[in-house]
Amino acid sequence: MMNETTLTQQVVNVSKEIAGKLLTLETGRIAKQANASVTARIGDTMVLATVCMAPVNRPDIDFFPLTVDYREPMYAAGKFPGGFFKREGRPTDRETLVSRCIDRPMRPLFPDGFKEEVQVLLKVISYDGENEADICGMIAAFAALEISEIPFNGPLGAVRISRKDGELIVNPNADDIQEGTVNLTIAGSKNAIMMVEGGAEEETEEVILDALDLAHSVIKQEIELITEFRSVCGKPKIEFIPPAVDEKLQLRVRELAESRVKEANVILDKHERQAALDAVLEETSSQILAELAAEHQGALDRGEISAEDVEAAAAYKEQIASAPKQIGNIFHDLEKEIMRNRVLHERLRSDNRRPDEIRPITCELGVVPRAHGSALFTRGQTQAMVVTTLGTVDDEQKIDGIRPDFYKQFLLHYNFPPFSVGEVRPLRGPGRREVGHGALAERSLTPLLPSHDDFPYTIRVVSEILESNGSSSMASVCGGSLSLMDAGVPTKSAVAGIAMGLISDGEKYAILSDILGVEDHLGDMDFKVTGTRNGITAFQMDLKIEGITRAIMAEALEQARQGRLHILNIMDQAIDKPRESISPLAPRIQILTIPIEKIRDVIGPGGKMIRKIIQETGTKIDIDDDGRVVIAAMDEEAGAKARNWIETLTEEVEIGRIYKGKITRLMNFGAFAEIIPGQEGLIHISELAERRVNTVEDVVKEGDEVDVQVIEIDDLGRINLSKKLADRASGRTSPDEYRDREKRDDRNKGRGGGDRGRDRGRGGGGGGDRGRRSDRNRGEGGRDRH
């Protein structure tokens, strides 16, 4: 193991070999005006992370304004951005997802009540194609926070775990990720895993646990390096003192509201429960404010303070102004305490379910009549309408980034409109939450899709959340699986998802299945697992506490498995296998492979031939460089017509086969006929008919369609044809018939002196006829004599 520390001109480097790769952290060279900046390097992949803190300009803010933005500029890989402007624009989905992976584990580690604005910016400045930049960036961000003066209960580390050929791999390269059956991004502290994001190909719970164990061992090594880094260059942390709690006010809120909050907490309907809690808060706040006003007036009446006392008046004004916010915070903590205590001590939840109980589920199919596939999945007060659309190669999405460009054939989009939670807000483009939930659902379903060679469609699934009370992303997974089957996509198996939660007070704990929105908000863990009956396909976890033991994690995974099987059983009652055929509204796709040298024949000069086929058949045709042809049509007949046309264009001419040829040119020595598009052959004048042909025009004319047989392909590839043999093979002519006719013609030529004799006979008033009559008479007399 290499462990090196150098300090030169305020530039600090620390390095350590972790899992066979050298990790280097550096500060003091660039971006020195930030609160802290760190460049992390693995191989030739380098990421710059900066952190800055600023006072909040909104004193009434009730949340921690942390912003994390990760960017992958194209120059890092020596590439130009696509598009007209040749400049990076809005963040890509990948950049958004990586930003979320950095934000989620660090956010809980800032002190409670800390409200200063913190911005973490990351930029990939070099990418070598071997070492993934997202893990490098996560480490850089965690290290930058650790050496800054910003209060932060770190440090954290990050790692990716893959599994290939049965072996777990730490920080795999791109090929190992692509070929592996596990791909997990994991962040954690010295004591516990804090965040997991990733997918698997129906792996068991034990494999996932082993991956987490390996990840934590690597994270500890990274934390050792970051701790050393801070010891060399870290700034003193700003002392943060949380706002003091008014114990008298806290006690009064409890006296007035506790019993009523307990009553409201058991109301089943989400909106009714919230309305009841809001009413309790409003009445409690009004009474306390009235008591404060009465107390102030009493002090005035008793002469304890004077009306002219400016300081007393200012203090009272500040007290009245700050009381509603303090009451709201105390009320929130009281609601949280009551909900959690009921779960821990009574084993009952807000909607009176047991910890492992799942809400009622209904599944409906075909709810959108013009869609290729659709499903309505409802679980309690969470409802998702999921719609599947089948497209062609033209609908694939090109992904342009620092990695090699590629095309996506499966897209899943998640929409969360405000009406789903009874709110009013302007509609904008998809936010980080929508991108994250859509990616999780997409990752869940991808392992069960057929290969693109077997099912050559581009597939888009859209999840419209119509109602939400927790687990909407998991409803998208379940509805997506049903919708794909309804569309006739030959998925290998059904997929279901379940969101798990955790309530813990340090001694007791409860694992919750199918959590509500309030349980997500007030609980200690959000833990989503998707999969089939055989194993896990996607995994996402966020912890709000210091960590959980491996035993609790194993118990949560087993409880999630049981819940997943329960949901799959209900889904099977709606549809247990994909439909036999796709929707009649979906395009019909056919695939064939043609020789590479024949591609030019199908495309034609300047694309003339391919355009003609598309125009006349009404199909879409895509030809790959390897000769793979994809034909998409809205009906079978049009697709078959296009396919036959292409097969004809690309077929090889066979000796002895009869073709329908079209006469294209006439020459003195024969006629040329096109037997397949772009392929002509010569019918020599001697092969036009069984009889002797004086001129080609006596038998065929330009534009005629005739049957011809291929009799020879010479060394130069020239094709020789025979109409005579084709007619003979079809029974239209007989060589004996023509032989007899030729013999009679020869005899006539000998007696009549050829054409001139016949002309003279006709000119002599019918001598020719007399001669023919005498021949017949002689012949007849001869037969009589015999």
> In this predicted model, what pLDDT tens digit does every residue of 348-375 receive, in sequence order?
998 899 999 999 999 999 999 999 999 9
DSSP structure string for 54-76 = E--S-TT--S--EEEEEE--GGG
> Is the pLDDT reported for residue 59 higher than 50?
yes
Three-class secondary structure of residue 684 per DSSP: strand
> Is the pLDDT reported for residue 774 higher than 50?
no
**pLDDT on residue 761:** 37
DSSP-H helix ranges across 528-593:
550-574
Q: 61: pLDDT confidence band, cut at 50, 70 and 90? A: confident
CA–CA separation, 280 and 536 (whole Å): 43
Q: CB 533: neighbour CB atoms within 10 A?
A: 15
**pLDDT on residue 296:** 75
| Percent of the chain whose pLDDT exceeds 70 | 91
CA–CA separation, 455 and 490 (whole Å): 8
Question: Whose CA is closest to 105, among 138, 60, 62, 70?
Answer: 138
Question: Whose CA is closest to 708, among 669, 667, 680, 736?
Answer: 680
Q: Mean pLDDT across the stretch 276-281?
A: 93
8 A C-beta contact, residue 627 and residue 607: no
Q: CB 63: neighbour CB atoms within 10 A?
A: 6
CA–CA separation, 199 and 216 (whole Å): 18
> Is the pLDDT reported for residue 56 higher than 50?
yes
Question: Whose CA is closest to 609, among 564, 573, 649, 574?
Answer: 649
Counting every residue, how long is the chain?
A: 786
CA–CA separation, 772 and 568 (whole Å): 97
Q: Which residues contact 208 (CB under 8 A, 6 or more apart)?
A: 182, 184, 200, 536, 539, 557
8 A C-beta contact, residue 162 and residue 130: no
> Is the pLDDT reported for residue 1 higher than 60?
no
CA–CA separation, 702 and 685 (whole Å): 14
Angle between helices 608-617 and 636-650 (to 10 degrees): 150
Q: Mean pLDDT across the stretch 579-591?
A: 92
Question: Whose CA is closest to 35, among 145, 109, 114, 156?
Answer: 145
Q: Give whole-number Cα distances, 762 to 755, 766, 768, 769, 775, in Å.
A: 10, 5, 6, 8, 17
**pLDDT on residue 438:** 96
The number of C-alpha atoms within 13 Å of 724 and in the hemisphere containing its C-beta is 19
8 A C-beta contact, residue 646 and residue 594: yes
> Is the pLDDT reported for residue 776 higher than 60?
no
**pLDDT on residue 649:** 84
pLDDT tens for 225-275 read 999 999 999 999 999 888 788 888 999 999 999 999 999 988 888 889 889
> Is the pLDDT reported for residue 567 higher than 80?
yes
Q: Is 656 left (phi over 0), alpha (psi -120 to 50) or beta?
A: left
Q: Which residues contact 732 (CB under 8 A, 6 or more apart)?
A: none
Three-class secondary structure of residue 366 per DSSP: coil
**pLDDT on residue 245:** 81
> Is the pLDDT reported for residue 762 higher than 60?
no
**pLDDT on residue 506:** 82
8 A C-beta contact, residue 509 and residue 503: yes
Q: Tokens 């390097």: give the residue.
A: 41
Mean pLDDT over the full length of the chain: 88
Q: Which residues contact 685 (CB under 8 A, 6 or more apart)?
A: 668, 669, 670, 693, 696
**pLDDT on residue 80:** 93
Q: 3: pLDDT confidence band, cut at 50, 70 and 90? A: very low
DSSP-H helix ranges across 355-513:
432-445, 472-486
Pairing mode, strands 66-71 and 117-126: parallel
**pLDDT on residue 756:** 37
> Is the pLDDT reported for residue 129 higher than 70?
yes
Q: With residue 751 as reference, give the H or E element that holds it.
A: helix 735-751
CA–CA separation, 36 and 501 (whole Å): 35
8 A C-beta contact, residue 642 and residue 617: yes
> Which DSSP letter does residue 409 get?
S
Q: Is 371 left (phi over 0), alpha (psi -120 to 50) or beta?
A: beta
**pLDDT on residue 734:** 60
Q: 704: pLDDT confidence band, cut at 50, 70 and 90? A: very high
Q: Tokens 């006709």: give the residue.
A: 762
**pLDDT on residue 181:** 95
CA–CA separation, 722 and 689 (whole Å): 8
pLDDT tens for 628-639 read 999 999 888 999
> Is the pLDDT reported for residue 773 higher than 70?
no
CA max distance for the chain = 169
Burial classification of residue 463, based on how many CB atoms lie within 10 Å of its CB (0-12 exposed, 13-18 middle, 19 or more buried)? buried
Identity of the residue numbered 2: M
Q: 750: pLDDT confidence band, cut at 50, 70 and 90? A: low
Q: 754: pLDDT confidence band, cut at 50, 70 and 90? A: very low
pLDDT tens for 440-463 read 999 999 999 999 888 999 999 999
Q: Mean pLDDT across the stretch 645-653?
A: 85
Identity of the residue numbered 541: M
Q: 735: pLDDT confidence band, cut at 50, 70 and 90? A: low
> Is the pLDDT reported for residue 760 higher than 60?
no
> Is the pLDDT reported for residue 767 higher than 80?
no
pLDDT tens for 592-617 read 999 898 898 899 889 999 999 999 99
Is the pLDDT higher at 34 or at 759?
34
Residue 726 tokens, joined: 């084709």
CA–CA separation, 719 and 675 (whole Å): 10
**pLDDT on residue 748:** 53
pLDDT tens for 283-302 read 999 998 888 888 877 777 77
Cis peptide, bond prior to residue 155, ω within 30 of zero: yes
Burial classification of residue 786, based on how many CB atoms lie within 10 Å of its CB (0-12 exposed, 13-18 middle, 19 or more buried)? exposed
End-to-end CA distance of the chain: 122
CA–CA separation, 148 and 199 (whole Å): 34
CA–CA separation, 404 and 77 (whole Å): 9
